[in-house]
Structure formats: structure tokens, C-alpha cells
Amino acid sequence: MAKEKLSVVKVGGNVIEDKDALASFLEGFSKLEGKKILVHGGGKRATHIASKLGIESNMINGRRVTDAETLEVITMVYGGLVNKNIVAQLQGLNTDAIGLTGADINSIASKKRPVKDIDYGFVGDVKKVNYKSIDKLMQADFTPVFCAITHDENGQLFNTNADTIASELAIGLSNLYKVELVYCFEKNGVLMEVDDDDSVIDFMDSGTYEILKHKGVFHDGMLPKLENCYHAISEGVSRVFIGNPTIISNKEQKFTTLFL
């Protein structure tokens, strides 16, 4: 029997910071047919609020170093302010959303990132997705909305990259569904020229990706996103798309399709 389709959609922080762009995206997301999961970031909002509280944000290679004080801010902003505003807007669009961290229903368990050259503090790397528990919510017609927080199953919360959370959720739920993973951010897709929004690479297999990576085509922020994409495809996710938020509702829009 063919698997039912599931859309796992991740929306980036730049969209979240733009009230109109977020409203438009959520309207498109609410109209997606079939079962769906939303994963969101919120790093820029966290940085802004941390600054108001006199807490300096320390970023290394695009990753946030998360000490105990920063973790408190992230928990408030990701799990509270951003998540609940998104959930409330989706309710207004007749989507019965439920906001979650990885700790809720033990949905995403992580382990602390090991210290090598850099100690990132309370940052977690995903080790397990309890897809059966998440599926119980979807079978009850709820739409999960995940923020970028996981836990270690022993009471410790972790800051975890939202792109990674989306990828790992897609992999876990591919045991039950035919999963399409969609990354929505401010660009039109993966670009050949970072300053040219029209230089979208329409299709890219893993071989082309390795060649272009070796040539230095991708900027630092895109590389970890693409690594998550190809990891998902190699682990059973059916298709991965990258583009601006309109791709979930406008099939004429340019975007990048990734495959092995």
C-alpha cells in the first residue's frame, strides 16, 4: 500500500522577522493539503531580546554558543514568543496547530555536542526522533509546530539547529509517510552567484553538489543546510526543495530540487 504524503516545512528567521512575509507564508502553509509539520527558527529575535537583557550573543561559524543564560533566552523566545505567535496565527487560518519543543511527548532527544575545537555549551545533536508519538498527534488531526529546542531525556534542554530538526523529523517520519522536506528562506533557492537572486540552480544531484562545493560556490550559511538536505535524502526522504516562502503555494516560482 502506498504511503500517505507528509510535508515537513522549515521556515527561516528572516521570514519570521517580517510580519507580512510570515503572514503570507502561514496562509500558504495552512492551505497545504494532507498532513504537515512546521519547523521554525527565531535566532534573530533571540539575539535582539538577549541584547535588550544585556546578554551578548556569541556566534561561531553561524552557530550560537549557548551558555546557561543564553539557553534561558532561547527557551523563552523560541518555545514561547515565536512558537505561540505562529500557532495562534495558524489557528486563525483554521489549522489546528500545536506548538512543541523536542521535550514535549519526548519527541526529539539529543546529546550535548562534544567539545572539539569549540565548546558550544548547551547545544544538542539529535540522536532520536520518536516518530510514533508525533504521528499520534497527526492522526488526531493536529499540525505540529516545532521550535529549535530538544532535550537529553534527563531534564536538560538544548539549543538545536532548526534545519537539522527538520531533516531529522523528515527522516524519522519517512518510516510511516512519503515525506517531502521543504526549506523556506529569503532566497529563491540554491544560487550559483550569492548576490544574484535569479541564478537559481533548478536541479542538483549529490555529485553536482560535491563539485560545486569544492569550487567554493556555496556560502557558509548554505553549506550546513545542504548537508542536512542530502543526509535526509540518503535516509529515505522522497524529495527536498529549497526556495523562498512562496514555493509552498506557487508552483511557478523558481526553486531548487535536490536528489541523489
> Residue 260: what pLDDT?
86
Residue 66 CB neighbour total at 10 angstroms: 24
Amino acid identity, residue 12?
G
Annotated binding site for substrate: 42-43, 64, 159
What is the CATH code for 5-259? 3.40.1160.10
For the chain, residues with pLDDT lower than 50 are none
> Residue 14: what pLDDT?
87
> Residue 252: what pLDDT?
72
DSSP per-residue string spanning the chain: -PPPEEEEEEE-HHHHT-HHHHHHHHHHHHT--SEEEEEE--HHHHHHHHHHTT---EEETTEEEB-HHHHHHHHHIIIIIIHHHHHHHHHHTT--EEEE-TTGGG-EEEEEPPPSS---BSBEEEEEE-HHHHHHHHHTT-EEEE-SEEE-SSS-EEE--HHHHHHHHHHHHTTTSEEEEEEE-SSSSSBSSTT-TT-B--EEEHHHHHHHHHTT-S-TTHHHHHHHHHHHHHTT--EEEEE-GGGGT-TTS--EEEE-
Annotated binding site: 42-43, 64, 159
> Residue 251: what pLDDT?
65
> Residue 120: what pLDDT?
96
Integer Cα distance of 161 and 178 in angstroms: 23
pTM of the model: 0.96
Torsion angle in degrees (nearest 10) through CA of 68, 79, 36, 138: 100
Question: Hey, where are the domains in the chain?
Answer: 5-259
Phi (first) and psi of residue 6, to 5 degrees: -135, 135
